[in-house]
Amino acid sequence: MATINENFLKLFNNYLFSEIARKVKAFKENHPDRNVISLGIGDVTQPLPKASVDAMARAVKDMENITTFRGYGPEHGYDFLINAIIKNDYLPHGIELSPSEVFISDGAKSDCGNIGDILSINNSVGVTDPVYPVYVDSNVISGRAGNRTNAGWSNVIYMPCNAENHFKPRIPQRHIDIIYLCFPNNPMGVVLNKEELREWVDYALENDSIILYDAAYEAYIQEEDIPHSIYEIAGAKECAIEFRSFSKTAGFTGVRCGYTIVPESLTASAPDGRRVSLNQLWNRRQCTKFNGTSYITQRGAEAIYTEQGKEQVRNTINYYMTNAMLMRNGFEELGVHVYGGENAPYLWIKTPDGISSWNFFDQMLHEANVVVTPGIGFGPSGEGYVRLTAFGHREDCEEAMKRIKQWMN
Ligand code: PLP
């Protein structure tokens, strides 16, 4: 008798986004005349950089010709993209990487979800609360999260982020083996400065922990002192894996490309106490289960590092960050507490008068016809907050803010 991985039965249904979709659908059916604007959207709206589109078109032509056709590529990516990443994303920050430390993939979600394959299911796991749900759910699937209790998963340590700690997790007072950090943060839009990130690296080194650092929104950082990579901190190559994505940087949500850095010097313990290279394990894992990102996609990603590509990416990020500023200013004028949106495309809004996340969502949908994401959906500490994203069209952001102002006034 074949049996299932029963851990799947432990997973919560994706209540948050299905519930939002259900409520919005019902509202639209009952009010077909209303134009509903979504500021909850987590997908980009601006098209790909032209440099990438042109490069992908050329790559398609390569596939037509017997001399330039490509079949299976290297599992961990083509050198042309790996070298462009090292040269443009790391060297300017003083970080030297060897090509064998860069693994190209089909996106950060796959890598964040799959990285647990190379780590024992007996490790304890630390996550922020609120959190990007993939970190927790992938640990539930593998059996590492333990059992569901009223306080969350038994083997997951939740690090609450609230106004008191400026939405930044405190350094744990106890030992945690694997820690997921995401900065700039989704959903809260906050960042860590170098000193703050250094404390995490020091903690990980002292505790022999691994930090899984999700830097999917690194391109949105505007301020000088904010690290773009965890490897800007001395010692991080001995304790951290970093995930990056072209999705929000260059509109690749539908094209699919990202990469993961696993330093050669990063090791963890085997049951017999030997230290084992995580780079070698991840390489083995990828070679076994992944056959590489398409040549066409990697040519498209490479093109964002050309002068033309860089300028186009900058323009798109400026566009979204102008949306973020516009929304921030709007909420500030209303006297609402607003966090994030300065180095990230996410704004974290305190609901007024202690209204619950879902009540605020419902009121805003019904009275202003604007959709946001209830913060409670990202974890218990998200109660009393909603998340807004800056990925919408400018005219939608402007219209939504106009409506919200009228409604809240
Ligand atoms: N990490 C975070 C924090 C995200 O918010 C997202 C997407 O929303 C991802 C990773 C996934 O990125 P990708 O599209 O590269 O899979």
pLDDT in tens, 154-213: 999 999 999 999 999 999 999 999 999 999 999 999 999 999 999 999 999 999 999 999
As a whole number, the mean pLDDT across the chain is: 96
CA-proximal residue: ligand 1, atom 2 (nearest) = 216
Q: How far is the CA of 216 from the centre of ligand 1 (A)?
A: 6
CA dist 262 and 36 (Å) reads 43
Q: Which residues line ligand 1 (CB under 6 A)?
A: 42, 107-109, 112, 132, 182, 186, 214, 216, 245, 247, 253, 258
Sort strands 178-182 and 125-129 into parallel, antiparallel or unpaired.
parallel
Across 20-39, average pLDDT: 95
pLDDT digits (tens, 9 = 90+) for 100-137: 999 999 999 999 999 999 999 999 999 999 999 999 99
User: What is each CA distance from 171 to 4, 176, 256, 382, in whole angstroms?
Assistant: 38, 10, 34, 19
Judged against a pLDDT cut of 80, whether residue 12 lies above it is answered with: no
> Is-contact 210 268, C-beta < 8 A?
yes
Ligand 1 atom closest to the Cα of residue 110 is 16
Q: Which of 35, 49, 43 is nearest to 395 (CA)?
A: 35
Axis crossing angle, helix 295-302 with helix 50-62, rounded to the nearest 10: 140
CA dist 402 and 239 (Å) reads 47
Of 255, 221, 194, 199, which Cα lies nearest the Cα of 57?
255
Pocket test for ligand 1, best of 106, 181, 248, 256 (most atoms within 8 A of CB): 248
Q: Quick one: which atom of ligand 1 is closest to the CA of 245?
A: 15
The phi and psi torsions of 402 (rounded to 5 degrees) equal: -60, -45
Would you say residue 14 has pLDDT above 70?
no
Q: In angstroms, what is the span from residue 215 Cα to ligand 1's centroid?
A: 9
Rg, C-alpha atoms of the chain: 22
- DSSP letter for 52, please: H
Q: What residues contact residue 211 under an 8 Å CB cut-off, 6+ apart?
A: 179, 180, 181, 200, 201, 204, 230, 236, 239, 240, 241
Secondary structure, 3-state, 295-355: HHHHHHHHHHHCHHHHHHHHHHHHHHHHHHHHHHHHHHHCCCCEEECCCCCEEEEECHHHC
Comparing C-alpha atoms, which of 40, 23, 36 is closest to residue 392?
40
| Segment 67-107, tens digit of pLDDT | 999 999 999 999 999 999 999 999 999 999 999 999 999 99
Helix (H, G, I), strand (E, B) or coil at 245: strand
Mutation probe of ligand 1 site: the residue of 109, 135, 220, 243 with most atoms within 8 A of C-beta: 109
Q: What are 181's strand-pairing partners?
A: 213
pLDDT at 67: 97
Q: To test the ligand 1 pocket, which listed residue (44, 103, 186) has its Cβ within 8 A of the most ligand atoms?
A: 186
Say whether pLDDT at 283 is over 80: yes
Burial 108-138 (b: 16+ CB within 10 A, else e): bbbbbbbbbebbeeebbbbbbbbbbbbbbbb
